[in-house]
Amino acid sequence: MTTKTLPRSFEELITHSDLPVLVDFWAEWCGPCRVVSPTISRLARENAGRLLTVKVNVDRKPHIAAKYNIRSIPTIMLFWKGHELMRLTGAHSYEQLKRDIESHLPMAN
């Protein structure tokens, strides 16, 4: 049986993940965040095995939001080996998010 060590930090996760990491910066009080959340969940399901998806609550993790200069939410970012490949702000449609994410996935393979 193989055990995998969980990352100790957000930085470790986005730097050492075997998969590209899609990050949804959000907050509970944010209406547009609630609108885009089902889209993020759908994309996570559809890209299982190709993409790791995480949510960062900016109220609970303000130091992470500050480090990545998150000024508006939702902000959706795609990382590969610690490098930012994509950043979108606001509630986008499923089709747009899918297109933008997929346009960057070949770079991460």
30 is catalytic: yes
Determine the length of the chain.
109
List the catalytic residue out of 14, 30, 51, 76.
30
CB 63 within 8 A of CB 69: no
CB 38 within 8 A of CB 51: no
**Sheet hosting strand 83-89, strand order edge to edge:** 52-57, 21-26, 75-80, 83-89
Q: Which of 78, 75, 83 is nearest to 102 (CA)?
A: 78
List the catalytic residue out of 33, 40, 58, 97.
33
98 is catalytic: no
Q: Which residues are part of the catalytic machinery?
A: 30, 33
